[in-house]
Chains A and B, each alone.
Chain A
């Protein structure tokens, strides 16, 4: 079953704008990860944030984690047309066999 819900389901922005995607989950986690998927392709790991971390940066990506609200956000700054893809959050549940449970995904379209 899916652990996470993401919103928005779809997001369309102009190149240069920032894109924010949110992910909510239901149970305690060990860590939360964000992945990107281009249409019809495999997934690319973007960033991992542990349950004891609140914010993490990687290039134009900024991820926050609020364990009290069981939510995370992914911010892509200065978006480019090449950022067009689906973005998924995935959680590793505390006490699990480190399996990933994926959210529903956000389809991001960056218009040139």
Chain B
């Protein structure tokens, strides 16, 4: 089946630093990838939709200058949390949708836990 990986799986950083999270589709091409944030005991909230070769589409309330998304290839999207603060501590999950066809299933990565001190 389709596999999506994320790296790193967890990161601890100091307040004010930037953190980059990678999301890769390992055995398929993904024109579209999605980034979600999940706080403890809560549901997933969509942050942005990442489209290969074009600008990401951000959800209302998500700062595009703080959460930089780059989708440079059909198998890689990156999320950079710039100048991270403790309130950015969360579980970040990406998902990828298979390019082409009528596939409607999204395949999720294992998540990245970010702790900002």
Contacts and interface: CB of A to CB of B under 8 A. Distances in A.
B44 A40 contact: no
From A2, A35, A43, A103, residue with most partner B Cβ within 10 Å: A43
A88 B105 CA distance: 14
B43 A31 contact: no
A60 to B, nearest CB: 19
Contacts of A97: 49, 57
A99 B49 contact: yes
B65 interface: no
A40 B9 CA distance: 10
Interface residues on B, range: 20 to 34
B106 A45 contact: yes
B43 A103 contact: yes
A94 to B, nearest CB: 13
Contacts of A31: 104
Nearest to B6: A42
Contacts of B93: 42-43
Contacts of A101: 46
Residue of A42, A88, A98 with most partner-chain B CB within 10 A: A42
A42 B109 contact: yes
Interface of A: 2, 30-31, 33, 35, 40-45, 48, 88, 92, 97-105, 107
Q: Which 5 A-B pairs have the closest CB atoms?
A: A43-B108, A42-B110, A42-B108, A102-B43, A102-B44
Given A101-B46, A102-B45, 9 more contacts: A2-B43, A2-B45, A40-B91, A45-B105, A48-B105, A88-B44, A100-B46, A100-B106, A102-B43
